[in-house]
Structure 1
Amino acid sequence: MCRRIFRLIGVQLAVLWMAQLSMVQAQEHPKLILTKAGVERIRAELGTVPLFDASLERMQADVDAEIAMGIDTPIPRDYSGGYTHERHKRNFLMLQKAGVLYQILQDEKYARYVRDMLFQYEAMYKDLPIHPKERSYARGKLFWQCLNDSNWLVYVSQAYDCIYEWLSAGERQQLETNLFRPFADFISIENPQFFNRIHNHSTWGNAAVGMIGLVMGDEELVERALYGIKDDGLKAAERDDDGGLIRMEGQKAGFLANLDEPFSPDGYYTEGPYYQRYASYPFLLMAVGLQNIRPEMQIFAHKDSVLLKSVYALINLSDADGEFFPLNDAQKGMSYYSRELVSAVNIAYHYGEKDPELLSIAKKQGRVLLTDSGLSVALGLREDKSLPFEKSSVNLTDGAEGKEGGIAVLRRDDLELVFKYTAQGLSHGHYDKLSYMLYDRGQDILQDYGMARFVNIEQKGGGNYLKENTSWAKQSIAHNTLIQNETSHFDGRYETGSKHHSELYFYDTSNKEIQVVSAKERNAYPGTELHRTIALIAEEGYDHPIVLDILKVEAEGDNQYDLPFHFMGQLMEANFQYETPAALEAFGTKNGYQHLYLEGYGTPSGINTQLSWYRSGRFYTLITTSEAEDELLFTRLGADDPEFNLRRDAAFMVRRKGHPSTVFASIIEPHGSYSPVSEIAVKAESKIKALKILYSDREYLVVGVEDQTGNRSVFLMVLDDADKTKEHKLIINNTEYAWTGPYYYLKSKQ
């Protein structure tokens, strides 16, 4: 009995000691992203970890150059790309770096630089009015929108943490009273329409308030950041700069809600990889701060470790060159070489399972964070633990519970096919259900336009979204999907699109010779069901895998259907006659059609239409089934674009009229090569002779492919039952086919 009592007392004392130790550690600085123990380890390893040392050298050179130039905190006046905007952005980046350098090098010039700049901001902020530019739904003070003000505070909170103990108590009180607390209140309480929503904007705001709260030991700010503002007075009718609703009925707010709602269990972020990349910085940096200061929250285990999964999702949503697929609003060319992904990879490695495949991405990035996690990565590379990151086919669900569609990426050899059947994607979503993109060796062959915006280029709309983002980039015609009666999906209405999502029919990559994804969309047009199935087929006899695309439409009444193919490259030839107009005119009047010129038009010459083009050393041929009355159209962007905001990209379109229901079957075949050095074209002609729809009703759909040597293959599909165990039998042209599951592919035979 006595032993039990002593043991209990011992446990209680141990718990009390750990709690006291935790409180002591919580008062130490740095504690947010860097830790005291981490800094000591970094200092001990200096000069022995090549990638860390190189990153430190680059950062020191960058900050030293800024210190030599002097501090400038101008009165704000510009949009993105303007001097004051870029100066304040540069300032917060330099403040964060200088704080880190002070901790690692113990050189007080960096602490003085941070202090002096912070006090310049303190002197100006208390009398600073709202930013003079009036475009944003939530105007900032330092910047034209609260989003950028939040960027500032996320970075500056790290700098403040690094020099916290170097400052006097009076200096800290002055900064917190006149700058940091008012700043946090402004982007939260004074702008609930920005702070209290589910959106990447709010994630930045939540993290900004939370991180400065963690540094200051301000529990009220931290709770506000985690759970949002109660009784914010917001109405569902309020909209943001992109036309999206600020608040959906019953929606929660705060950092944890932004972690729970936009992420699927697979780590896919509903706004798409471009904004997932952007939001990954505040998500992960705030998480590190919580892990260091509130370890009991186990933030990296939250929602089955969704933050760590999100890093893998991002990498898997990049092409062979590391550039993110431009789903929804996205600037083409953004990649995992960005500073946000350097942070993401470092943090995922350090707080995850020390995955050696992440080290190969870090090695490509060529730099690390100068933090505990960055040192872990650099040490792993020093010890040669890196393994290649193997990107294979993947299907990522969308929606908080993974039940709102998703993204499938089929990969084989050099080809990557990206099939989108997601939810709307919040205000950055596009109206492109069942669309797809095709990449070959990192080059887009069938493209998604991305967004109409020149980020941080002042000459183009102050670096903000252009009106063409709404009138073109978001519209259905800007994507490789079906358009009914020249009207975008959901009539281009955000409220309608936000209520619906496409549904996966099946996804199967168990056989690497044929990988298939199939999904249905029942709400894009009233009374219409779209069912699209795409297969990536690697078969003997072809130079490269081919893409089989089957799109079945079931509708009511006679409709017009347009199926565009936004091909990239130089047109080689077509197997039909076409005319070119003497003068270019706009193809339509609305829903994106007003931005298209009609450059050519013709009709099919047979049961198949073929179009070939060349891009980056390889040829591509589109073969699609045709009906006699189809219209074959060549279009090019540029109409109704007086400021030349749009690229002059081309597209080929099949238009079919007078059908309630129909089937479009197509193949894209990569083949051959061309060398501009030898000037020799090899295998420039397609190997495919014919593509036929052999059978179609409400239960089954069968297509056949014949190559130039007479080999034939057949793809059979069940349209209304995806049960993998169900047996099927079908007789076509006196040939019986029997199989199990939703599809069957019979390889080529003569």
Structure 2
Amino acid sequence: MRISQTCFFVSILFLALTFSCKEETNLVSENEDTASTLGAHPKLILTAQGVKDIRAQLGKLPIFDKALQEVKEEVDAEIAFGIDTPIPVDYSGGYTHARHKRNFLVLQKAGVLYQILDDEKYAKYVKDMLMQYEAMYKTLPLHPKTRSYARGKLFWQCLNDSNWLVYVSQAYDCVYNYLSEEERNKLETNLFKPFADHISIDSPQFYQRVHNHSTWGNAAVGMIGLVMNDQELIDRALYGIQGVNLDTKAKDDDGGFLNKDGKAGFLANIEEPFSPDGYYTEGPYYQRYAMYPFLIFAEGLHNVRPDLKIFEYKDGVLLKSINALLNLSDADGDFFPLNDGQKGMSYYTNALVTAVDISYHFGTQDPGLLSIAEKQNKVLLDDSGLAVALGIKNGKAKPFNKKSINLSDGPDGTQGGVGILRSEDIELVFKYAAQGSSHGHYDKLSYSLYEKGTEILQDYGLARFVNIEQKGGGNYLKENKTWAKQTIAHNTITQNETSHFNGEYEIGSKNHSELHYFSSESEEFQVVSAIEKNAYPATEMLRTMAIIKDEDFEKPYVLDIMKVTSKKAHQYDLPFYFMGQLLKTNFDYKTPETLKALGTKNGYQHLYVEGTAKLSEANSKIAWLHENKFYTATSVTSNNDELLFTRIGANDPEFNLRREAAFMLRRKNAANTLFVSTIESHGSYSPVSEFALNSNSSIKELKVVLDTEAYTAIEIVNVNGNSKLFITANTTTTKEATHTIKINNKNYTWVGSYYFK
């Protein structure tokens, strides 16, 4: 053990003996009178009682002690570096942006260290930096970068200014009693109140809306209001600014229109974006980002204003949302990149440490959350982190079991949703949700596929290099709109090379897909089905997807049925964005000598055509290898179908897009039509032994044996000659409905939405 570590543990053991002789279970109970601590500081996140309890446990909780040591080393290094509050000049990723961001993170941690370790140097550091900000802010103009729809002062956008105040509010609370009344008045008059006013009153286009941006603003204003005991700021945070009219043409930085329905404030931001299941309409990437202000402000309200019962609001949706968010991650903990989502963002981010700890402490104390906390290997240095650390030490952790789940979208749960099917190591993510605010993509009834956390068929995610200054200042690139949001970038139908809703936000935001049915009761057969009626005029798309576990197959496989009904003939394109190396096809194809773009707009301008084929087989097969596993797609095709091999990257001179491949089924001059495919994962390859095992598909034949307005039936025949029949009801899908149909002179009768045998 290093000397610094030894000294640290000696010091915390001394503190444990000095401050308290309590046993580890002697925490303040829910029934104990805490009125005497509500007005004391700290009171916001770390509470006065919590400080006493934490000091009593120092040296006894390994995960908490580890987190405390890491924070101490980090803050000590910053103190040694010295305070730097530069005049703001940069976008995201530039020095001044990064320095001010670093400052607010360290301020919050230094405040916590002062409370836990009772070392005045941390309070002095917080005070000295806040006084530098006070001296600067009095005369600080708007940020010189003008790109944002709502400019901040310390940062180029009010969003980052709000980040600053959310964290600094916690630091101020921790050193509140260290400061003199004169110093507090100086900070509140010249820094905190003007800061809150700029975020809110001066920037209604940022503050008065339902969006993750305004959630940060609401939390910032509310949290400093709680610390200052400023009721006007608290009300402004909860309910928004009254009587403010916004420009109906205003757009945010991401190109999405702002909300103009008069709904604003923290409560509206809980009410509108979250479904009753806890799904956040912008998608898991932005839910992760928004969860910190949602939960940290809620915790502050719970501690200072318990009368509001914030964790019970909307049937406890804030705590439900954490379970939903964890279920929106793959086997490695990475969030599915629905809508604008950067791949690789996971529940290891600090925002999810906050979410897991708060959910455990204020929720039902789900032992599954403790297993997530163990993987995160860190806890918050506050009351909730202490509760998690105690739970882990006492052996309460159990695996967080992610099962198949259907999450509704919309404030009432009536605006579509996301269905996740899980069977063994296979995960299918089926999106039939609402637009998802300005971060939404035009990809109704799209899906992505994973095996053990590895992408098999991908969702592209966003076109942005977050906080990398060399790429557009770390902000969204134009290709996010011209490619990532467009329908052809996703594994769903594009009609006539035109995106859903013509790629128009105002139209897309008024419409959503509808759940047809969802069933995950059977381990052998799980299915989700949804319909989209508005993406194209006079065209309906009904997609039914299933994961089938069959003893004749090595692993569960996917069945995909896309039924299109239209009053006119169209061209339909259905891409498969596969990851890996093409191995084999059962058809001939041609490769061009010169690469050309597939089209001129709606994302087609970014696709190179690398190969073309005229299909003639009843089943077309494509096999590929990815991370030493074999995959095969089998599709029902006809003589009129075409197949295109494409690659992303055309008309992208700055190389902003990843050069990834797809194969695309194209069907021309069709009105009512049916696309049917299976995706198999099978076998493995060892580069060490150079053995390939089970490298071929187990499906001999895929057949459409019935397709009417009311029913679609698919037969799957394996290489051993055994067959399975799946029949899906296209109209009446209630669980009580009885169905009887005849196929090839044989009657089939069942109750419910589908038949499978």
Does residue 440 of structure 1 match 2:455?
Answer: no
Alpha-carbon displacement from aligned partner over 1:380-399 (angstroms, at most 9, x marks no partner): 11111100000000000000
Distance 1:152 1:428 in 2: 23
Pairing of 1:310-709 with structure 2 (within 5 A): 310-709=321-720
What's the secondary structure of 2:695's corresponding residue? Answer: coil
Which residues of structure 2 form unaligned runs of 5+? Answer: 1-32
Distance 2:259 2:545 in 1: 36
Mapped contact 1:102–1:110 kept (Cα < 8 A)? yes
The CA deviation at 1:244 is 1.4
Of 233, 247, 250, which aligns to 1:238? 250
Q: Does the 8 Å CA contact 1:729/1:736 hold for their aligned counterparts? A: yes
Q: Once the two structures are superposed, what CA deviation does each residue of 1:369-418 show, in whole Å capped at 9, x if it has no partner?
A: 00000000001111111000000000000000111100110001000000
Match of 1:120 in 2: 132
**1:55 equivalenced with 2:67 (yes/no):** yes
Q: Which moved more, 1:327-336 or 1:226-235?
A: 226-235
More divergent stretch after superposition (81-90 vs 229-238): 229-238
2:14 paired residue number: none
1:46-85: CA deviation from partner (whole Å, max 9, x where unpaired)? 0011100000000000000010000100011111111000
Give the CA deviation at 1:708.
1.2
The whole-number CA distance in structure 2 between the counterparts of 1:166 and 1:723 is 64
Query: C-alpha separation between the residues in 2 aligned to 1:66 and 1:179?
Result: 23
1:221 aligns to 2:196 (yes or no):
no
Tell me the C-alpha RMSD between the 2 structures.
Answer: 1.0
Q: Which amino acid aligns with 1:78?
A: D
Distance 1:734 1:36 in 2: 77
Letter in 2 for 1:681: A
Instruction: Tell me the SS of whatever aligns to 2:365.
Output: coil
| Residues 153-164 of structure 1 mapped to structure 2, 5 A cutoff | 153-164=165-176
For the residues of structure 1 that align with 2:412 and 2:158, how far apart are their CA atoms? Answer: 30
Q: Which of 82, 95, 103 is the matching residue for 2:94?
A: 82
Encode CA deviations 1:189-215: one digit per residue, 9 max, x unaligned.
Answer: 000000010000000000000000000
The 8 Å contact of residues 700 and 716 in structure 1, kept in 2 or not, is answered as: yes
- What is the letter of the counterpart of residue 138 of structure 1? A
1:93-151, CA deviations, whole angstroms, 9 ceiling, x for partnerless residues?
00000000000000011001100000110001011111111111001110110000000
2 CA distance for matches of 1:652 and 1:683? Answer: 23
Compute the displacement of 1:710 (Å).
Answer: 1.1
C-alpha separation between the residues in 2 aligned to 1:234 and 1:729?
56
Deviation at 1:301, TM superposition (A): 0.8
CA distance, structure 2, for counterparts of residue 731 and residue 407 of structure 1: 33
The aligned counterpart of 1:40 is 52
Counterpart of 1:7 in structure 2 is none
Alpha-carbon offset, residue 603 of structure 1: 1.4
Residue 254 of structure 1 deviates from its aligned partner by 0.0
Residue 735, structure 1, aligned to residue 746, structure 2: yes
Output the CA distance in 2 between the equivalents of 1:36 and 1:441.
44
Q: Which amino acid is the alignment partner of residue 214 of structure 1? A: L
Shift of 1:233: 2.1
Deviation at 1:24, TM superposition (A): 5.4
AA matched with 1:211: M
Question: What is the CA distance between 1:28 and its match in structure 2?
Answer: 1.0
**2:296 matched to 1:280?**
no
Structure 2 partner of 1:8? none
Q: 1:735: Cα distance to partner? A: 2.1
Shift of 1:25: 3.6
Give matches, 1:93-108, under 5 Å.
93-108=105-120
The separation in 2 between residues aligned to 1:664 and 1:324, in whole angstroms, is 29
Q: Assess if the C-alpha contact under 8 Å between 1:235 and 1:247 holds in 2.
A: no
For residues 204 and 37 of structure 1, the distance between their equivalents in structure 2, rounded to whole angstroms, comes to: 27
8 Å contact 2:431–2:446 — kept in the other structure?
yes
Does the aligned pair in 1 maintain the 2:37–2:49 contact within 8 Å? no
Distance in 2 (CA, whole Å) between partners of 1:521 and 1:596 is 26
Counterparts of 1:745 and 1:52, CA distance in 2: 51
| Counterpart code for 1:619 | F
**CA distance in 1: counterparts of 2:242 and 2:108, whole angstroms:** 31
How far 1:740 moved relative to its partner? 1.6
1:183 aligns with 2:214: no
Offset of residue 26 of structure 1: 3.9
Deviations 1:412-457 (A, max 9, x none): 1000000001000000000000000100010010000000000000
Residue in structure 2 matched with residue 3 of structure 1 by the alignment: none
Aligned to 2:302: 291
Find the aligned partners of 1:62 and 1:547 in 2 and give their Cα distance. Answer: 48
For 1:31, which of 43, 47, 69 is the aligned residue? 43
Look up the match of 1:91.
Answer: 103
What's the secondary structure of 2:536's corresponding residue?
coil
Verify the 8 A CA contact 2:571 2:669 in the aligned structure 1. yes
- Tell me the distance in 2 between the aligned counterparts of 1:319 and 1:712: 31
Provide the rounded CA distance (Å) in 1 between the counterparts of 2:617 and 2:538. Answer: 31
Matches within 5 A, 1:706-717: 706-717=717-728
Q: Which amino acid aligns with 2:219?
A: A
Take 2:477 and 2:653, find their aligned partners in 1: how far apart are those partners? 13
Residues 624 and 691 in structure 1, CA contact (< 8 A), matched pair in contact too:
yes
Give the letter for the 2:568 counterpart.
G
Indicate if the aligned counterparts of 1:575 and 1:605 stay in contact, CA closer than 8 A.
no
- 1:697 Cα deviation from its structure 2 partner: 1.3
Contact 1:472/1:478 (CA < 8 Å) preserved in 2?
Answer: yes
Q: Secondary structure at the match of 1:529?
A: strand
Query: Cα–Cα, structure 1 residues 23 and 237, in superposed 2: closer, same or farther, change >3 Å?
Result: farther
Amino acid at match of 1:720: T
Task: Number of aligned residue pairs: give it.
Answer: 726
1:734 Cα deviation from its structure 2 partner: 1.9
Report deviation, 1:251: 3.6
Question: Which AA in structure 1 matches 2:712?
Answer: L
Looking at structure 1, the residues matched to 355 and 488 of structure 2 have their Cα atoms a distance apart, in angstroms, of 34
How far did residue 616 of structure 1 move? Answer: 1.4
How far apart, in 1, do the equivalents of 2:73 and 2:458 lie? 40
Instruction: State the alpha-carbon separation in 1 of the partners of residues 101 and 259 from structure 2.
Output: 29
**What TM-score results when the alignment is normalised by the length of structure 1?**
0.96
Residue type matched to 2:678 in 1? I
Q: Distance in 2 between matches of 1:251 and 1:274?
A: 26
Cα distance in 2 for residues equivalent to 1:23 and 1:362: 31
Residues of 1 paired with 2:136 and 2:711: CA distance?
70
Secondary structure of residue in 2 paired with 1:523: strand
Query: Is 1:130–1:140's contact at 8 Å kept on the other side of the alignment?
Result: yes
Cα distance in structure 2, aligned partners of 1:238 and 1:318: 34
2:145 is matched with: 133
Counterpart of 2:428 in 1: which secondary structure?
A: strand
Q: Are 1:238 and 1:247, in contact at CA under 8 Å, matched by a contact in 2?
A: no
Distance 2:40 2:717 in 1: 72
